[in-house]
Structure 1
Amino acid sequence: MSKVIIVTLRHLMGEELETLNFKELQQLEQQLECSLKHIRSRKSQLMHESISELQRKERSLQEENKVLQKELAEKQKAHKQQGQWDHGQQPQTSSSSSSFMMREAPPTVNISNYTASAGVRVDGAADQPQVRIGLPPWMLTHLSG
């Protein structure tokens, strides 16, 4: 580097200012202020870009969170309904297709207590577990008669 550039850089760093007169010091100050404006402008631009990117990520995460909350609610509802089925309870639902089949709890039918041909109770059948068939009552009439 040339000696002039080295001296100029030292002046910009605040070194060797003793050789400068008032006018040269004012010019150096203006150069530094102009440089600071450019630096601050670039810094502000980067901060705004960063904020915009973070806001975009925030919106994306909020949307993803809503989707996950909806999925969780659906799974909890399905799990609750499955738990009601496991315990022999009728699920509470507003769905028209499932409410058609579930207007009444189906009757308990113990098919294993009867012989296939005569319909006579088998001894010891009381010890047999009750079987719950999830069919509407009109489909069960031929099984109980």
Structure 2
Amino acid sequence: MLLCNSMEKILERYERYAYEERQLAATDFDSQGNWTLEYNRLKARVELLQRNHRNYLGEDLDSMSLKELQNLEQQIDTALKHIRARKNHLMSQSISELQRKIKEKEKKDKAVAQPALWDDQQNQGPHASSFLLSQPAGLPLPCLNIGGCYQEEADPGVRRNELDHALEPTYSFHLGGYGA
């Protein structure tokens, strides 16, 4: 009995494997036919794409009808519109990026120039900045002459020492004709 059971199991397995093998062989035959069809379909598609490519390059146009030429022209026009749109988009991005960089550089230059101006004003003393900034634009800056002006004194009654300096020092601003 044990031997009989064992033999039956072996035969069942053999039949099952034989059946599966026949199924695989049939599938291979079908798939081989499918692959042949798929190959022919893909080959025709490649030939069509190659012909279209030649047509886009302006080659092999003699065999095309008027309607096919008009269709080709429309396709090329549409492609050109997409190309121009993309080019304009990239140019716009480049311009925006350049403007952003310029603004950043201007901010950086102002930030660098501001402390330098502040340092210059501090080195000139506490009153220099307010004095220099209060002058109207375009007017010459006043000069400070201690001991009089360089011009000849018109008053002969002013006493002078031997170095030709006034004995009483006067402090005046020479404003170059803009009033004192």
Q: What TM-score does the superposition give when structure 2 sets the normalisation length?
A: 0.43
| Structure 1: runs of 5 or more not aligned | 82-90, 96-145
Q: How does 1:32-47 map to 2 (within 5 A)?
A: 32-47=76-91
Paired with 1:21 and 1:32, the residues of 2 have a C-alpha distance of: 16
Q: How does 1:1-145 map to 2 (within 5 A)?
A: 2-81=46-125, 92-93=127-128
Paired with 2:124 and 2:129, the residues of 1 have a C-alpha distance of: 14
| Cα deviation digits, residues 18-71 of structure 1 (max 9, x gap) | 111111000000000000000001111111111111111111111111111112
For CA contacts below 8 A with separation 6 or more, give which structure has more relative contact order: 1
Paired with 1:44 and 1:27, the residues of 2 have a C-alpha distance of: 26
State the number of aligned residues.
86
- Residues 26 and 9 from structure 1, CA distance in 2 versus in 1: closer, same or farther, beyond 3 angstroms? same
Letter in 2 for 1:92: H
| Structure 2: runs of 5 or more not aligned | 1-44, 131-180
CA RMSD of aligned residues (A): 2.1
Q: Which residue of 1 aligns with 2:170?
A: none
Q: What TM-score does the superposition give when structure 1 sets the normalisation length?
A: 0.53
Runs (4+) of structure 1 exceeding 3 A deviation are 78-81, 91-95
Query: Which structure has the greater CA radius of gyration?
Result: 2
Superposed displacement of residue 93, structure 1: 4.6
For 2:52, what is the secondary structure of its paired residue?
Answer: helix
Paired with 1:4 and 1:94, the residues of 2 have a C-alpha distance of: 81
Aligned-residue identity in percent: 38
For 2:127, what is the secondary structure of its paired residue?
Answer: coil
